[in-house]
Each structure stands twice: as C-alpha cells, then as structure tokens.
Structure 1
Amino acid sequence: MITTADKNASILLQISTFTQYFFPLGNYIFPVLIWSMKRKESEFIDKNGRSAINFQLSLLVYFVGILLIALPILLYSIFNNTSFILSNNCNWIAEEFTAGKITTIVIISVVTLLLFAALKVIEFCLVIYAAVKNSNGEVYKYPLTINFIK
C-alpha cells in the first residue's frame, strides 16, 4: 500500500532535482539525501529515488559526452582556420582570422548549445512528468537512463 506520505516524499525527491538552479550539484545532493533517508521506509520511494538519481547521472554522462565530442572539433576548427605567428617578445598573434573561416566555429557552437538546451528542456519536462506519475502512486522509469544504482 502506497501512503500519501510516500507519494509526497517521492514527489519531493523528484522535484528536488530542480535545486541545481540554486545550488551547484543540488540535483545530485538533495535527491540522494532524501532517498537515503526514506528508502528503507518504502519500496515506492526506493524505486523512484533510484530512477531520479540514475536519470541525473545519465544526463551528466550525456552532457560530458557532448562536450567531449564538440570541444576537440571546435578547437581543431579554431586552430585549423587561423594562422598564428610568434612575435619578437614571444607572444602568439593571430595573423589571419576572417569571417569566412568562422562558420565552422559558429556551427559547432550553435549545435552544441542547442543540444544542451534540448537536454535541459527534456529534463525539466520529464521531472515534472515523473512527479505527476508519483502523485498518482505510479513508479516512473525515465527513458534512456543508465542504471548506475541498481
């Protein structure tokens, strides 16, 4: 039997991921704190807590993956399209950097920012959806989540 207290704790656990907008790493710290305090009281809270934490960790992996792909391409584009010279006082000076050569840099930057924005919007919507499902007494499993905590 899922009690109202279990539903409320599970909703709080889901919504606590939004603390990332107020505290650095809040989307990891607060759900883990709530989950660790309440997981032994209810299997419902335990399953939803694992799901929320795994989803946040999966998003971290996806963000890092996007950065690991985009950053080398961006750096290659910058250094490939710009010629540098060494001045007399040992400073590197960009000799040639024209608007025609900036398109690759802009495209990579815009695509990366759009992917980041899309992930954040998806995260926001899925967390709200999970909280609504939890309020109805349903266990919610986030899509495309890597199970770090089993």
Structure 2
Amino acid sequence: METNSTKNTAALIHLSTLTQYLIPFGNYIFPIIIWSATKDKSTFIDQQGKRAINFQLSLFLYSLVLCLIAFPVLFVTVFKNVSMSSIFHGEDWILEDFSLANVTGIVAVAIIAAGFFFLLKVVEFFLVIYASVQSSNGEDFKYPLTIPFLK
C-alpha cells in the first residue's frame, strides 16, 4: 500500500516532464532531480520515475529519427529551387519555378514525418497527464512504446 506522499511524488515526477514547454530540457532535468532525490523512499517512486524518464528518452529518440527524415528532405526541396547566384551575390532569394508539381514522393514522406512528430507531441501530453492521474491513485502505469534505458 502506497502512502499519499509516495503517490503524490510519483505523480509529480510524471507532471514535471511538462516543464519542457517552459524550460528547454525540463522534461529531463526535473524528473531526474525529483526521482534521484526520492527513489530510496519507495519502490513505487523508483519504478514510476524510471518509467517517466525512459518515456522521455524514447520520445527524444523517436523525434530525432523523424527530424532526420523530415528536415533534410524539406531543406533540399526548398533550396534546389533557389538560384545559387542570388545566394552568393547577396540578392533576394527568389524561388525559381517553384510549384506543387515539383513536390515529389519523398517530400510527401517528409511531410508525413513532420505530421507524426506533431502527433507524437500531442499523444505525449495526454499520456503524461494520464500517467500522473494513475500514479496519484497508486496504480502502476506503463507508457506504451517505451525503450527501457533505465532498468
């Protein structure tokens, strides 16, 4: 049986990942600080802290892969239509003959990857809220699609 203090601490660890919207890398810093300071008090806190950190690290890895797919493709697609002389001579960048007909299938893959990234962030937000509610009720919560970096 978990005490209210341990349940609240576990919920706070999950909720502290939302600091990423205010502080860069807050979704890693604050859960690690709270978890490392309180992990010896309860196995429930230790378990939920590891799961929250593993989930954030997994999302970072998934986001990195999606960005590595989307950004280079979109970058090349836009800049292949820019005249190199305008770049080197300091002129205004004018997209030459840019139309939707120039958009290839690989650009569609990049747009889909960017869409998955957006969807990943929305799902992350709701899963963090759900995990904190479950933890505050003393229930064991496992994030889906999480790579167990910390065991």
Q: Quickly name the TM-score band, shorter chain normalised.
A: 0.7 to 0.9
Conserved? CA contact 1:74–1:109, under 8 Å: yes
Q: RMSD in angstroms over aligned alpha carbons? A: 2.5
**Structure 2 counterpart of 1:137:** 138
Q: Residues of 2 paired with 1:95 and 1:3: CA distance?
A: 63
What is the percent sequence identity of the aligned residues? 47
The DSSP-based 3-state class of the residue aligned with 1:86 is helix
**Structure 1 counterpart of 2:7:** 7
* Residue 45 of structure 1: how far off its partner (Å): 0.2
Structure 1-normalised TM-score?
Answer: 0.85
* Residue 136 of structure 1: how far off its partner (Å): 1.8
Q: Say which of 78, 89, 104 aligns to 1:91.
A: 89
* Residue 98 of structure 1: how far off its partner (Å): 2.3
Aligned partner letter, 2:63: F
May I ask how many residue pairs the two structures share in their alignment? 148
Mark the CA change 1:90 to 1:7 in structure 2 (over 3 Å): closer, same or farther.
Answer: closer
Give the 5 Å matches for 1:1-150.
Answer: 1-80=1-80, 82=81, 84-86=83-85, 90-91=88-89, 96-101=96-101, 103-104=103-104, 107=108, 110-150=111-151
Mark the CA change 1:106 to 1:44 in structure 2 (over 3 Å): closer, same or farther.
Answer: same
> What does the per-residue CA deviation read over 1:84-142, in whole Å, with 9 as the maximum and x for residues that have no partner?
3437x953865723223564597566434422221111001111111111122112110
Q: Residues of 2 paired with 1:95 and 1:122: CA distance?
A: 36
Q: Residues of 2 paired with 1:83 and 1:28: CA distance?
A: 39
> What does the per-residue CA deviation read over 1:56-85, in whole Å, with 9 as the maximum and x for residues that have no partner?
1111111110011112222332344x2634
Q: Residues of 2 paired with 1:85 and 1:65: CA distance?
A: 30
Structure 2-normalised TM-score?
Answer: 0.84
Conserved? CA contact 1:39–1:46, under 8 Å: yes
Q: Residues of 1 paired with 2:44 and 2:115: CA distance?
A: 35
Structure 1 unpaired stretches of 5+: none
Q: Residues of 1 paired with 2:7 and 2:121: CA distance?
A: 25
Conserved? CA contact 1:74–1:108, under 8 Å: no
